[in-house]
Structure 1
Amino acid sequence: MPRHTVLITGAAGVVGTALLARLRQHHDIIVLTHRTPVDAPSLAGDITRPRLGLDADTYRTLARRVDTVVHSAAATGFRSDARHTTSVNVTGTEQVARFAVHAGARLIHISSAFTACSTVVRENIAAYAGAAGLPVAHYIDTKVAAEKLLADSDADVVILKPSMVVGDSRTGHLPTVQGLCGGFLYTLAGLVPFVPLAGATVFDVVPSDHVAQAVHIMTDPAAPSGTYWLTSGTASSTCARVTELIDRVRPEHGITGLPQAQCVEPAEALRRIGRLAGRPGTATTCYRLTQMLLHATAVNRAPAFPDPTVPGMPTPTPARTEAALRATLHHLARTAGPRLPAARSRHSPLAGIGT
């Protein structure tokens, strides 16, 4: 594969960090940064603005240099600010696609396998999450909208659809803890009494370095454009198995004296949270549980994802999936203190839940 110039957005995120580490070994990298600096040649910009927030001369110069654009930037935190999520995930993708057309560059867009879950997410929200779950549905809607606008664009587009991204398959490293990985951390540390998901819930995960490998494959101009799944598919794990792994990992890091991790079906979890909320000193625990419950709307009763379709990738097996999960859990256990997501206990722990 020839060495060429790649523009990366979102290089400071979980996926973007792995992308930067992989791609800089094979290509000349330019990173479009916004708030978080990275250790790579970069330009400060804003994907939601015309010309990516760059002045006209810089934009034209960049377009002449770039051969491939890897668009990893996204609002992924299930924010309640719908305008922000739409601006980043839809408007931002539109602006990046326009740049790719101007540059005559291939666009590799990191989407999400959870675009296939829109219906079940709304059913879960109606069943137990209420208004507090709407940002989850809106996030998925924006990823669907981004895929549609790319299908209508003139760019040479590759869409990659990863499932739940966990840490590096070997080291488990995660630059930030987000989504259900935050729930893994809470459970490891004994900061929540249960996981608000049925034991049979499918956990389809993909290690961050596998996402980076897939992107690298697709930077080859000979690789066909199209939409590709990045999943564990039939090799996926379950919530029950993850809690078993948590129980095994804990003592290896001196985390002892805790009850066995358990899975609780979401409706029953909501009832338990309600009872717990009436006790003194439980606001932080309730907050953590409700955040886990909101993220659970994306995986509870979700349809199984297809097996991965990126050519040249290793075939997932249950053993490889479990090894990746175990590596992530070990990383979380090693860094549990400094990496613990802050609990905003000043907010009502049940605000909007079940209403």
Structure 2
Amino acid sequence: MAVLLTGGTGFVGARLCVELLRRTDGPVICLVRAESVARAEQRMRSAVEALGEDVPVLPRMRAVPADLSSARLGLDEGAYRTLAEEVDSVYHCGAYVHLAAAYERVAPVNIGGTRRVLEFCAAGTPKHLHHISTLGVFLAAREAGLDSVDESTVPTLGTCGPFGYLRTKVEAEQAVAAAAESGLTATLYRPGLVLADSRDGAAPANDFTTCVLAAAIVTGCYPTALGALPASTVDHTAQAIAALSLAPDTAGKVFHVMRPEPLPARELFERAREHGYRLREVTAQQWRVALLAHRANPWARAVLALEICTYILGITPGRRPPRFSADISADAAAAASVRVPDTGPAYFHRLLDRLERDHEETLSATHTSG
């Protein structure tokens, strides 16, 4: 039988596609937003080959032009029925990830797309849904009265805070839970903050960590950060999801995909200082003033638009992330032989080197060492 993957051209999705190709024997069918089969195949091949991985991309990887927010996933009825009979596992990684967007902008893909995927799971042969959510659904858990969360904690619209993207992820989880109560076999994965690749420091330009570090470099300062972030590198995230999904007895379980210990937010800035940047620690208000002074720079402007920074970094005492536990998930990942990458100084050196190489023109601070 075949595996179906949504979001395969994305930061996590492309690496998850590679891991599924490595760990399974059947076709990996990727739904891709595209106007034709040729364009879908081109986008998917480009996403995977850009990783530089030695994997059997063809012929087992197939790309199908689709639209998550449309009826029948944008497929004609015949293609939809054929696909529904061929597939027995669905990895729903597709989402419109925009931390500053309004709920109405991201809901059609994040909620509507999940509902379309659930309809697909109910058609044809029985399917196991592997739904990728986010630990961001608990970002405001302290304000909701929860100082700590683990795999058994159920997210609500109160635990996700006033953010459209995170609200859609809570509602998508609720839709999956309702389908599971009606008989769907489902497993839920909640990655934390997804960091750059551990091997080469690669990350997209709109990556949260990239934006925050670049904004600190541009302004020459960073805010006092009180939070500790559930985080892991993108390669570890994809490896863990793939390995856990193929382990026995995962149906009905929830996994928190993160490194064993949360990452102190201030460590991001301390590593940049170790790398040679002259950065001074300032108050939240002083950092905002510095960002406003540099708002002509795209990095400063991007962070100004992200109110979510206050929560993720824990810039103010009342808006710190809760304590995240992933003991059950860590034990399961270890049993599945998933190695946790080293995210020490050498890792951040690679990350910052890559940031400098890819975005030299928009980084305008003095760098005192290589």
Partner of 1:295: 309
Q: Which of 175, 193, 196 pairs up with 1:167?
A: 196
2:325 to 287, 292, 306: 306
Tell me, in whole angstroms, the C-alpha distance in 1 between the residues paired with 2:195 and 2:287: 24
1:106 aligns with 2:106: no
* Residue 213 (structure 1) shift: 2.0
Structure 1 position 295, deviation (Å) = 2.9
Deviation at 1:181, TM superposition (A): 2.7
Is 1:151 aligned with 2:177? Answer: yes
Question: TM-score normalized by structure 1?
Answer: 0.76
Which residue of 56, 65, 75 maps to 1:54?
A: 75
In the alignment, the residues of structure 1 paired with residue 287 and residue 263 of structure 2 have an alpha-carbon distance, to the nearest angstrom, of 21
Q: Which residue of 2 aligns with 1:130?
A: none
SS at match of 1:41: strand
Deviations 1:301-349, CA, capped at 9 Å, x for gaps: 110111253353149xxxx676267525513422434357989xxxxxx
Q: Indicate the SS of the match to 1:63.
A: helix
Deviations 1:49-85 (A, max 9, x none): 1111111111111111112111111111124343231
**Identity %, equivalent residues:** 21
Distance 2:344 2:69 in 1: 34
**C-alpha separation between the residues in 2 aligned to 1:341 and 1:121?**
40
Instruction: Choose from 281, 287, 291 the match for 1:269.
Output: 287
- The answer to which of 40-49 and 96-105 deviates more is 96-105
Contact 2:128 2:184 in 1 (8 A): yes
For residues 234 and 300 of structure 2, the distance between their equivalents in structure 1, rounded to whole angstroms, comes to 30
Compare 288-297 and 201-210 and name the one that shifted more.
288-297
Distance 1:169 1:241, change over 3 A: same
Q: TM-score, normalised by structure 2?
A: 0.73
Query: 2:219 matched to which residue of 1?
Result: 192
- Do the aligned partners of 1:14 and 1:208 also contact (CA within 8 Å) in 2? yes
Q: Shift in Å at residue 141 of structure 1?
A: 1.0
What's the CA shift string for 1:124-144, capped at 9, x where partnerless? Answer: xxxxxxxxxx99611111111
Amino acid at match of 1:44: P
Spell out, residue by residue over 1:268-323, the C-alpha distance to the aligned partner (whole angstroms, 9 max, x if none).
Answer: 433x34xx74x6x75327524414654343342110111253353149xxxx6762
Which residue type is aligned with residue 296 of structure 2? Answer: A
1:69 has 2:90 as partner: yes
Which one has more relative contact order, counting CA pairs under 8 Å at least 6 apart?
A: 1
SS of the aligned residue for 2:323 comes to coil
Shift of 1:230: 1.2
Residue 175 of structure 1, CA deviation:
4.9
Listed one character per residue, the Cα deviations across residues 141-184 of structure 1 (whole Å, up to 9, x for unaligned) are: 11111111100104211110111011233333335541233212
Shift of 1:43: 0.3
Aligned to 2:254, which of 207, 227, 231? 227
How many residues are matched?
309
Determine whether 1:78 maps to 2:99.
yes
Any conservation in 1 of the 2:272–2:352 contact (CA below 8 Å)? Answer: no
C-alpha distance in structure 1 between counterparts of 2:71 and 2:141, whole Å: 33
User: Which residues of structure 2 form unaligned runs of 5+?
Assistant: 35-39, 46-60, 146-159, 315-319, 364-370
Q: Is the 8 A contact 1:217 1:312 kept in 2?
A: no
- Structure 1 vs Structure 2 CA RMSD: 3.1
**Match in the other structure for 2:7:** 10
1:34 aligns with 33
Is it true that 1:139 corresponds to 2:157 in the alignment? Answer: no
Q: Distance in 1 between matches of 2:87 and 2:352?
A: 37
Does the 8 A contact of 1:79 with 1:135 survive in 2?
Answer: no
One-letter identity of the residue aligned with 2:237 = V
Unaligned runs of 5+ in 1: 124-133, 251-257, 344-355
Kindly indicate whether the alpha-carbon contact (under 8 Å) linking 2:29 and 2:62 is maintained by their aligned counterparts in 1.
Answer: yes
